[in-house]
Amino acid sequence: MNILNKYTNTLFIYIVACLILYSCSENTPTPEEPQKPSLQQEETLRIEIPKLKEGDHNQFIVKKAKLREDNDTMFVNFCMEYDQQKKATRWTAFRWDMDNIYDSGCGRQGTYIADPDVPKQYRVGSGYFQGYSRGHMLASEDRQCSASANKQTFFMTNMHPQLERFNGYDSQGDYVWLNAEKLVRSLYQGWNANNNALDTIYAVKGGTIDKQEHILAYTSNNNSSKIIVPRYFYMAILYRHHIPEAEDGYEAIALWIPHTEGDTTSGKDIAIKYAVSIDSLEEKTGIDFFCNLPDYIERDVESKFNLAAWGWNP
């Protein structure tokens, strides 16, 4: 009887040990099989995405839309870093390529709307800013490939308060932010006409929200108060051009534009007047742009800019 009990106990311990080993092997990833990053983690590796700020209040937002209304192909329309405490977007990042520059003729499809991806208590409502217009970062005109892509540009997370005579136009002419958008837009509008080798343009746009000396004022709208009015607006732009049988080449440039009224600078004069290197823009804003490039490329393109490479030389 003692021998039988000893055998039974040994068998029971062996079965339990096997079950524990099996359970661990099922639930614990091995070094040979690392867990895949989430889809949103993958988006942070896109070339246009700056280094994210630390802190739970800094929300990374990805907007995806139909590339064409007549099929279900989706693309990353744009991404943003939203500071929930400040109720302001630090940057909006996107790209232009041969797929999304297609002009469907959809025009302005959206109405200004609070962003449902932001928790309700941190949203900025859709009403007019007191004393300021609602200025797009990714312009409506730059997302004409589908109606759904255009509608997303009207989320309030894609807006900053801008002076009307900075962002708009009147009898005096078009003002500088509107003209800067046109200048950058001319890069991809010339692709087909010039048949050049530009492959992709990566862009980051924003207004300054982090340093007190870079805040012009505060405003409000129908449900939000103390909304930051940036003192400066910027664009960080990188293009990749494909060189057959060689490594792709890159060029980068930034625009640092004071938020003032009545500036009608236009065309390449904008670049001549306001262009800075990416390194300089990083020092001004504290944002690490194009950090997903290989280090040797990032160091090279961010340290200088060449107006002639963009067709903007005097």
> pLDDT digit of tens for each residue in the chain (314 aa)?
555 455 555 555 555 455 444 444 444 444 444 444 455 678 999 999 999 999 999 999 999 999 999 889 999 999 999 999 999 999 999 999 988 988 888 889 879 999 999 999 999 999 999 999 999 999 999 999 999 999 999 999 999 999 999 999 999 899 999 999 999 998 887 665 454 556 899 999 999 999 999 999 999 998 888 999 999 999 999 998 766 555 668 999 999 999 999 999 999 999 999 999 999 999 999 999 999 999 999 999 999 999 998 989 88
The pLDDT value given to residue 44: 95
The pLDDT value given to residue 26: 43
CATH code, residues 2-310: 3.40.570.10
Q: Where are the domains of the chain?
A: 2-310
The pLDDT value given to residue 198: 66
The pLDDT value given to residue 25: 43
What is the DSSP track for the chain?
A: -HHHHHHHHHHHHHHHHHHHHHHHHHHS--TTSPPPPPHHHHHTTSTTPPPPPPSTTEEEEEEEEESSTTS--EEEEEEEEEETTTTEEEEEEEEE-TTTT-----------B--TTS-GGGPPPSSPBTTBEEEESS-GGG--S-HHHHHHTTBGGGEEEE-HHHHSEETTEE-HHHHHHHHHHHHHHHHHHHT--EEEEEEEEEE--SSGGGEEEEE--SS--SEEEESEEEEEEEEEE--TTSPPEEEEEEEEEE--SS----THHHHHHHEE-HHHHHHHH---TTTTS-HHHHHHHHS---GGGGT---
The pLDDT value given to residue 29: 43
How many angstroms separate the CA atoms of 72 and 146, rounded? 11
